Structure 1
Amino acid sequence: MLDVRRLRLLCDLSRLGTIAAVASAHTYTPSAVSQQLSALEREAGIALLERTGRRVALTAAGRLLVQHGETVLTALEQTGAALAAARTGLTGELRIGAFPSAIRTLLTPALITLGNRHAALDLQLTELDPAEVPAALRDRRLDVGLVQDYDVVPMETGPGLQSVPLLDETVHLAVAADSAAGTLRDLSRAGWILAGPGTLCHTATLKLCEAAGFTPRARHRVDDFGTVLALVAAGQGVAVVPQLATAGLPSGVRLLPLPTRRRTRVAFRQGAAAHPAVAAFIAALPPLT
């Protein structure tokens, strides 16, 4: 009999590429991951990994087991969802991951609705950049989360996850109201307000500026869009902001639509769509497009 926890580690190795990365994702030591994978090989009765020094690669049998392993993990999620649906009322935890502007505009009303409808459901919200949500879902640190992509930064959630669309929005260039700029290229020498490195917003801004023929000069690094827009209004720089962040726009800011869009989706583990808590969360979100 194959151990499901070890099977999950093998699937993660296929996705992440190294034992060190799998260990980091699960807060294990690399030695512990190696021992678990060796135990899985003994259970399978066939070599699953090819080891060359410190490097490992999946054998043909390993790749086959990963393929079936993803099916097994999905079936387990479906089983858990079916059992939860058989209970009376929604109980237990629902761990949610989302980015700040969505928490303020979309999730707060949804959480209030869920709390009123399902008082026994323990809602746990974590602020998280969309780029970090897929790994948190796979590692079972989250049950549901908001993921994003831009036209200029396409992203796939990858194996083991599925998602449903939530929001498709315009992306703007935010400049001071008295600025004469009309395009990105006009701001090649401006000071820019950028999100933190590694975030999706940061990457999207770099891609947009690169397409316009320049690299933005970072003047400030700020993740909160409310602060970003206040700095723009004060003449402290320019920034790329999505439509969702422009509610309550300061009077000193002018928005210029850019030829790219941002899409937000609700993501969860493959097989969890029928889980009543996940379904209730999606149903509570406002019907935006």
Structure 2
Amino acid sequence: MDLSRLRALRELSVRKTMAAVAEALLVSPSAVSQQIALLEQELEATLIERRGRGVSLTVAGEQLVQRANRIFAELEAARADIAEIKKIIAGELRVAAFPSVAAALMPSTIRELSRLYPRLTIQFDEMEPEESLAALRSWQTDVAIIDDLNVPAGALDPNVETVPLIEDVFNVMVPQKHRLADRPTVTLEDLKEERWVIDTASSHYTKMLTDACLAVGFTPQITARCKGFEVTVALIREGCAISILPGLRASHDLEDVWVCRLAPEIRRRIFLAFRQGEKRSPTLQAFISQVQAQVATNWPLSPPAAS
């Protein structure tokens, strides 16, 4: 069987539409459809069923994907074996991370790895945790930086291993002239009458904030929804709203924004995720070590994420 056809089927099992698979594999939807059709013709079996705009796998398709997962896992393990024997840190390592952790850690990590290992190239893609985990499962990235807010432990694929990285504490961000400015800590009750701006990149983040407010007796008055930090912090800076954002965001220069701790704390755990059996790769080990070094240097008082 052709590996590219198996890869297309595996992608389809995760992404559910021909268009999404085509985007991930950098080919046209018709090319994906042709790959699946050729695989079905070769096996003389129906592997997919169309459901509206998407597709679902038949029993035969599901079984083939399970076999394909093991095949690709063995191929990656073989590559790791050879890399371990050669002890060479070179080539390309693909990394996916969500914006807050990426902005805080990736520039310094990539810089240091480039200095230490000139033959190694880090190919970075900004992705939300669920998206990066899907990319990891489908061999579109080698390392995914995820958190337990968006990817609970029970949602992890058994073929994915994780390494704890850091625990991130959420902070309250208000304008410098806000009534709560200069206070080291605030409670959710203190924010009951405030107007809120939220980052909508993650629905889990929105739900977490809403549930936390409901637990103390109020629904947050959300007056702005943004897809990124730049607009969010601009609205806070100009006194239009307040927000609760990851502590890693406060690692940047936030001119005219007051950052204070929330009591009681809301935390998330951040992990490095990679395919099972690949930790032996010297390249992956070098990346893990360097990210951990950056955490230890820049956040020495922050506890590592629990295993």
TM-score bracket relative to the smaller structure: 0.7 to 0.9
Maintained 8 Å contact 1:193/1:222: no
User: What does 1:37-56 align with in structure 2 at a 5 Å threshold?
Assistant: 37-50=36-49, 56=55
Q: Give the direction of change, closer, same or farther, for the CA distance of 1:144–1:55 in structure 2 (3 Å limit).
A: closer
Q: CA deviation at 1:92?
A: 1.0
Query: 2:41 aligns to what SS in structure 1?
Result: helix
1:178 partner letter: R
Q: Give the direction of change, closer, same or farther, for the CA distance of 1:50–1:130 in structure 2 (3 Å limit).
A: closer
What residue in structure 2 maps to residue 192 of structure 1? 196
Q: Could you tell me how far apart the structure 1 residues matched to 2:226 and 2:60 are?
A: 47
1:67 partner letter: Q
What residue in structure 1 maps to residue 243 of structure 2? 239
Q: Could you tell me how far apart the structure 2 residues matched to 1:21 and 1:124 are?
A: 21
Query: 2:96 aligns to what SS in structure 1?
Result: strand
Q: Identity, % of aligned pairs?
A: 34
Indicate whether 1:284 and 2:284 are aligned: no
Q: Could you tell me how far apart the structure 2 residues matched to 1:121 and 1:194 are?
A: 37
Ranges in structure 2 where 5+ consecutive residues have no aligned partner: 297-302
1:224 partner letter: F
Query: 2:266 aligns to what SS in structure 1?
Result: strand
Q: 2:259 aligns with which of 236, 253, 262?
A: 253
Q: CA deviation at 1:210?
A: 5.2
Ranges in structure 1 where 5+ consecutive residues have no aligned partner: none
What residue in structure 1 maps to residue 9 of structure 2? 10
1:267 partner letter: A
Indicate whether 1:205 and 2:203 are aligned: no
2:222 partner letter: R
What residue in structure 2 maps to residue 154 of structure 1? 152
Indicate whether 1:77 and 2:76 are aligned: yes
What residue in structure 1 maps to residue 122 of structure 2? 123
Normalising by structure 2, report the TM-score. 0.76
What residue in structure 2 maps to residue 221 of structure 1? 226
Q: CA deviation at 1:105?
A: 3.6
Query: 1:285 aligns to what SS in structure 2?
Result: helix
Maintained 8 Å contact 2:14/2:134: no
What residue in structure 2 maps to residue 64 of structure 1? 63
Q: Could you tell me how far apart the structure 1 residues matched to 2:59 and 2:100 are?
A: 45
**RMSD of aligned alpha carbons:** 3.4
Q: CA deviation at 1:29?
A: 3.4
Of 156-165 and 36-45, more deviation after overlay is shown by 156-165
Maintained 8 Å contact 2:97/2:125: yes
Q: CA deviation at 1:282?
A: 0.5
1:244 partner letter: L
User: What does 1:31-42 align with in structure 2 at a 5 Å threshold?
Assistant: 31-42=30-41
2:179 partner letter: D
Aligned residues: 286
Q: Could you tell me how far apart the structure 2 residues matched to 1:123 and 1:18 are?
A: 29
Q: CA deviation at 1:10?
A: 1.7
What residue in structure 1 maps to residue 274 of structure 2? 268
